[in-house]
């Protein structure tokens, strides 16, 4: 196990993402000074996990598009000299990546490599933690360990696998302080409304209809945003450089089961708001990740059971329904 790193100043790339926002919130609570950067503006406060944090004065946000503003990001890094960088940034969403794969490769690979090459010359950064995805493994039977071969099935997954491999090459050649992490699906209050849990809650409560790709048979695990943030802090403090860590619960459910649970919370029948649709191209049937390494080395455990977290998220949607239904609920692609 690595000796504990002392992290006082943290840069979160993609801080406007749900996971990034949860990390900002927890890091501020832990006394860190936090800098956030994203190519998107900060969202509405209801979608900002840190919006009411008592320590918000220690947070600074800059809108920076890595495709176009690398110099601005490097100026920020040189000015504030963060002890560590956590990278949630990147072109998201799987299905749209088939329409313009070159945009995913530009944002998730080319722009990132330019950043990583520049960071090699900034040794004050003690750790660069990359938030990756199990989609890099492709469709896989059985439990996935960190040594499983990469076999991505979509342009989205290809872009993530490529930058993961590039970072490990930078670790081996330059000694860049890289740690890779792969998480099960995120969820929780404050998540973007196009994601499956809040979107299902909104539809079940009467705001729109839901279509289940392939009837919702895919198997997934879901990690609450607070557990995501705790995992990242554990990696920052004691994760070993050059290693990969999985973070998942042991509660694996089909997407249909997830939707049925949320429908029960709303007191409605699934067909009243949900229809089955065709499977999207390249969709993997299951990711069953083994998190034993993170549990043994980092002492990480998910603290929020799925049923508890789903009810909490449903209650957040119901309690903020008038505001949430007035906000955009569809994914908007940005080149």
Quickly list H helices, the chain.
18-29, 70-80, 101-105, 111-119, 155-174, 196-204, 225-238, 255-266, 292-298, 306-319, 321-324
CA dihedral 287, 292, 293, 298 (to 10 degrees): 120
- Residue 335: per-residue pLDDT: 64
- Residue 242: per-residue pLDDT: 98
Q: Where are the domains of the chain?
A: 9-187+223-247, 196-219+251-287+305-324
What's 260's DSSP letter?
H
Q: Output the CATH code of domain 196-219+251-287+305-324.
A: 3.90.25.10
- Residue 87: per-residue pLDDT: 98
Cross-strand pairs, 182: 132, 246
What's 152's DSSP letter?
-
pLDDT (tens digit, 9 = 90+) per residue, 250-279? 999 999 999 999 999 999 999 999 999 987
- Residue 333: per-residue pLDDT: 64
Mean pLDDT score of the chain: 94
The confidence band for 1, taking pLDDT boundaries of 50, 70 and 90, is very low
Q: How far apart are CA 319 and CA 129, in angstroms?
A: 34
- Residue 219: per-residue pLDDT: 87
In this structure, the strands spanning 59-63 and 219-224 are unpaired
Q: Average the pLDDT over 314-319 and give the result.
A: 98
Position of tokens 């990242």?
232
Q: How far apart are CA 37 and CA 30, in angstroms?
A: 20
- Residue 270: per-residue pLDDT: 96
In this structure, the strands spanning 219-224 and 252-254 are antiparallel
Q: Average the pLDDT over 287-313 and give the result.
A: 96
Q: How far apart are CA 256 and CA 211, in angstroms?
A: 11
pTM score:
0.95
pLDDT (tens digit, 9 = 90+) per residue, 20-74? 999 999 999 999 999 999 999 999 999 999 999 999 999 999 999 999 999 999 9
The confidence band for 284, taking pLDDT boundaries of 50, 70 and 90, is low
- Residue 285: per-residue pLDDT: 67
pLDDT (tens digit, 9 = 90+) per residue, 111-161? 999 999 999 999 999 999 999 999 999 887 788 999 999 999 999 999 999
Question: How many Å separate Cα 3 from the centre of its chain?
Answer: 26
Q: Output the CATH code of domain 9-187+223-247.
A: 3.40.50.720
């Amino acid at each position: 196990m690595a000796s504990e790193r002392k992290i006082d100043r943290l840069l979160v790339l993609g801080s406007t993402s749900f996971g990034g926002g949860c990390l900002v919130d927890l890091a501020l609570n832990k006394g860190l000074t936090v800098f956030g950067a994203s190519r998107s503006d900060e969202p509405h406060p209801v979608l900002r996990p840190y919006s009411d944090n008592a320590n918000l004065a220690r947070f600074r946000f800059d809108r920076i598009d890595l495709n176009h503003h690398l110099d601005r990001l490097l100026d920020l890094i040189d000015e504030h000299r963060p002890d560590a960088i956590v990278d949630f940034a990147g072109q998201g969403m799987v299905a749209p990546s088939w329409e313009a794969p070159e945009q995913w490769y530009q944002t998730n690979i080319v722009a990132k490599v330019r950043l990583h090459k520049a960071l090699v010359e900034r040794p004050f950064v003690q750790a660069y933690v990359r938030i990756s995805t199990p989609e890099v493994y492709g469709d896989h039977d059985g439990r996935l360990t960190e040594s499983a071969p990469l076999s991505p099935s979509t342009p989205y997954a290809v872009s993530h696998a490529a930058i993961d491999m590039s970072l490990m090459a930078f670790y081996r050649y330059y000694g860049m302080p890289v740690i890779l992490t792969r998480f099960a699906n995120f969820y929780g209050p404050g998540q973007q409304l196009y994601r499956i849990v809040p979107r299902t809650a909104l539809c079940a409560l009467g705001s729109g209809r839901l279509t289940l790709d392939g009837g919702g048979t895919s198997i997934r695990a879901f990690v609450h945003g607070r557990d995501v943030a705790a995992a990242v802090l554990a990696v920052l403090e004691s994760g070993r450089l050059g290693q990969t860590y999985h973070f998942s619960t042991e509660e694996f459910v089909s997407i249909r089961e997830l939707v049925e649970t949320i429908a029960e919370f709303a007191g409605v029948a699934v067909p009243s708001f949900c229809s089955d649709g065709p499977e999207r191209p390249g969709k993997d049937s299951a990711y069953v990740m083994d998190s034993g390494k993170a549990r043994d080395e980092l002492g990480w455990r998910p603290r929020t059971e799925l049923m508890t977290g789903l009810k909490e998220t449903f209650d957040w949607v119901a309690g903020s329904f008038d505001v949430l239904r007035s906000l955009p609920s569809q994914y908007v692609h940005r080149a």
